Every structure is written in structure tokens, then in C-alpha cells.
Amino acid sequence: MKNSFSKLLLLITVILTSLAYTSCNKDDSDHKKNEFDVINEVMEAWYFWNDELPDINSSNYNSVNNYFEELLVSKDRWSYIANRDQLLAYLENGTYIGYGLGFKYDSNNDLRVKLIFDESPLAAEGIARGWKLININGKDVSSLSDNQVLDELDKSSAQFVFENNIGEQKDFLASQITLDQNSVLKREVIDYQGIKVAYLAFDSFLTKSEEELNEAFTYFKEQSAEELVLDLRYNGGGSTAISNQLSSLITGNAFTNDIYSKVFHNESKMSEDFTEAFQEQAAAYAFDRVFIITTSGTASASEMVINGLKPYLDDVILIGSTTHGKPVGMYVFEDISLNLAIVPISFKITNAADEGDYFEGIPVDLEISDDLSYDFGDIEESNFKAALDYIVSGNFPVITAAKALSTNEREFKKKGFDELVGAN
């Protein structure tokens, strides 16, 4: 059939296991057949592991989602299909419907706010990173499974009870809204023992992030920052163009036109392989080294920044826990008539030194638990404090048992579109 899809020029490396796509009525066989045909055409041509595609018959499937999942190789944790309009709105502006915050369990199995966006209706109630969710819709969170908590958060409105670190509680009703998430969660420059340290908590590599990053680095320049701590602990990726921008900002245009990354496709698409150079940035402000805070939620375009900087900076120092492990990326293939987006793994990425293949994640220089007790940029927060101690003394602090990486610490499991957004 004639190609009905177009390949979105935006390169993305988002982390998402599966995004539910609501197709047409399953009795509409012609429409359903079109969806299957478009999926097959994209996967056979562009899927990075297209030589390993299974020999299955789409006529045996009533669900487009189930069929797509059956096509994926076992090593592929990321390819997905999506509602086109919903996906593009998010990639452009971070637009989604929800409460505007993300959760994570701490080492005590308490469910805490790990991040909250500026437009969140809960932020207006004073809720911040570190607050514990105690009760939702009259149900004790400690007695609920992950899926049960998700079911409550999926509701258009909910009665919340939160508690802060000194035992103060807030009880209020809130409703989901359509919001645009801010990708810069916090930026500041602090004077720490006579050294000006820039701190940047960055959440997603979105199209709108370009302006937010330029503002942050202009601020760092105005404040004459000397060191940089980049907090990517929950950043699951996004546009590789924004990844390049961030890396170019950090290096102060010192390596403009030098190789930032190399991109390799499957054997049938080798003619599409290319190298990408650092791009000159008007707001660039050079740092000789960078401290990066990471967790298993640090993925894709975030890992691309880490890997891409290593051949050029004196030190790229990682604090936290091993990153996710996604040295591959995706294109968005869109079919406007079906409102369908197909987002398969389409290429692998290396740095200028041909280093890549970090499927097991990038290890850290200092392993330390994610400290959910404090807000971003608080000098008492363990990960940031470790970076500050190193900046001052040249050594990391001794990690106590209380701050050691805990096997109980885990991400709050989400599903569908929330997996991409990283928030509810």
C-alpha cells in the first residue's frame, strides 16, 4: 500500500514501556487492518532489530497494542504506539491531563512526592517534593497496592491527605487539569563556603525546554557560577536536539562542530547513519567539570548527555545510583488519518570515542540513596550535599548505612501515558 505515515523529524529518546493506544472499534476491520499495515511497514523498515521480527499473523489479533508488543524483541523495553495528538502535545509543551506531580517510595516504603510541576493544583496547596501521601479518597495509602493507588489517582478528582517532615498534615480536594509541565524544576546559584555553585534540576528534554535551559544558563552566567551540579535523577529523556543543546551550554561552545554523538541504524538503513556535532549556543557558559545526580530513572537523552560529555570534560562525576541503560533511540512515525504514532527503537547512539552499549546502565562514582526528605537544591539533601562536599574538599563524604542505597527504594509503578510523563 502507499506509505500513509510520515517520519517526524524530531528525534526522541523517551523512556516508556507501553503507552495504551485506543484504536477504532474492533469490529471496524478495514480501519483495524490499516493500523496493522502501517505498523508492519514501519517496523520492517525502521526497527533497529528488524532482522529479529517474529513471523506472526496480525489477523490473529484483535488488539493493536497486543500485536505491537508481540513484535518486540526481548531486549526492547521501550518501543510503543500512541495517540498521535496526545503524544505530540506532550513532546512539544509537556501537555497532559493530571495532578502535576510524581511519586516514589522511600526506603521506609512511604510514598513521597518526588517532583511537582509549577502548574499543579497541589503546588497551590503548598505541597512540595518530600511530602508523604498518607490517604487518598479516604483510603490509607499504606494498605493499598500500586495498582490501587493508581486507580485512585486516575480519577478526575480526589481527596488527598499529605504530611510533611515535621508531621503537619494537609487535607484537601483537588481535580485533574490540563497542564504544561516545566522541564526545569529548579535553578539556582548558591555561595557554598566561598564557591558559587550552580544547581539545575532538569526533568524532560522537550521542545519547550530550549527556552528554559537558555534562561537557566544566562542566569548562571550573570551569577558568575564556578561549578555545576546537574540533577537528572528522574529525567527519562526526550529530544536528542535538546540533549545536544544542554551539552553545548555546559561546555561553553568550546567544542562547536566537534562530534557530540554518532547514530547507527539497522543494516537496511545504514545510509541514514550520521554524526551530530555540538551546536553553538548563545547562552553557553563553560564549566570544566560537571556533577550529575542520577537514579535508575535517568535514561536515554539524559544518558546521552553523560556519555557525550565524557570525551571532552575533565570530569563527569556521577552521584546516586546506576542509570537506566538506554543507549538507543526512536523516531516518531505518525499517521494523521489514524491519529496513530509509532515509536520504535530505530538507532543506537555512541559518543565521539565510540563508547556506547551501556544497556546495564552507566555506573556512578558515589553510590548513595535518593534522598526524598528534602526539596531540590536543598544543601541538606544527601546527593546535592555529597557534590558540595567534593567541590570543597576534593573527597566524597563517608556514606552511612542510613544513606546507603536501599533495596526497598523503588519507583512508583505507573502505566500508560504516565510512564512517559513520569507524573500523575
Q: Hey, where are the domains in the chain?
A: 6-93, 97-180, 184-262+269-327+349-403
What is the topology classification, in CATH, of domain 184-262+269-327+349-403?
2-enoyl-CoA Hydratase; Chain A, domain 1 (3.90.226)
Q: What is the tens place of the pLDDT at every residue in 338-353? A: 999 999 999 999 999 9
Its pTM stands at 0.91
According to the model, what pLDDT value does residue 414 have?
A: 54
Q: What 3-state class would DSSP assign to 42? A: helix
C-alpha cell at 354: 565510540
Task: Identify the band that residue 422 occupies on the pLDDT scale cut at 50, 70 and 90.
Answer: confident
C-alpha cell at 350: 555512541
Q: Which CATH superfamily groups domain 97-180?
A: PDZ domain (2.30.42.10)
According to the model, what pLDDT value does residue 22 have?
A: 36
- 44-49 average pLDDT score: 98
Question: Contact at 8 Å (CB) between 145 and 137?
Answer: no
Question: Per-residue pLDDT for 360 more than 90?
Answer: yes
DSSP string for residues in 157-211: EEEEEEE-TTS-EEEEEEE-EEEE--SEEEEEEEEETTEEEEEEEE--B-TTHHH
Task: Identify the band that residue 292 occupies on the pLDDT scale cut at 50, 70 and 90.
Answer: very high
- 162-176 average pLDDT score: 96
Question: Per-residue pLDDT for 417 more than 70?
Answer: no
Of 79-88, 115-124, 210-219, 406-415, the range with the lowest mean pLDDT is 406-415
Task: Identify the band that residue 407 occupies on the pLDDT scale cut at 50, 70 and 90.
Answer: low
C-alpha cell at 424: 500523575
- 359-372 average pLDDT score: 96
Task: Identify the band that residue 404 occupies on the pLDDT scale cut at 50, 70 and 90.
Answer: confident
According to the model, what pLDDT value does residue 15 have?
A: 34
Of 27-41, 126-140, 355-369, 371-385, the range with the lowest mean pLDDT is 27-41
CB atoms within 10 A of CB 224: 10
Task: Identify the band that residue 412 occupies on the pLDDT scale cut at 50, 70 and 90.
Answer: low
Task: Identify the band that residue 50 occupies on the pLDDT scale cut at 50, 70 and 90.
Answer: very high
Distances in Å between the Cα of 264 and the Cα atoms of 40, 86, 274, 276, 290 are: 21, 28, 7, 11, 27
Q: What is the tens place of the pLDDT at every residue in 4-38? A: 455 544 444 433 323 333 333 444 555 655 899 99
Question: Per-residue pLDDT for 293 more than 90?
Answer: yes
- 227-240 average pLDDT score: 95
Between 6 and 44, the more confident residue is 44
C-alpha cell at 404: 546507603
What is the residue-averaged pLDDT of the chain? 90
According to the model, what pLDDT value does residue 31 have?
A: 60
Between 5 and 112, the more confident residue is 112
HSE (side-chain half, CA atoms, 13 Å) at 206? 24
- 106-124 average pLDDT score: 95
> Rounded to whole angstroms, how far apart are CA atoms 142 and 128?
20
> Rounded to whole angstroms, how far apart are CA atoms 13 and 423?
18
∠ CA(158), CA(162), CA(168), 5° rounding?
145
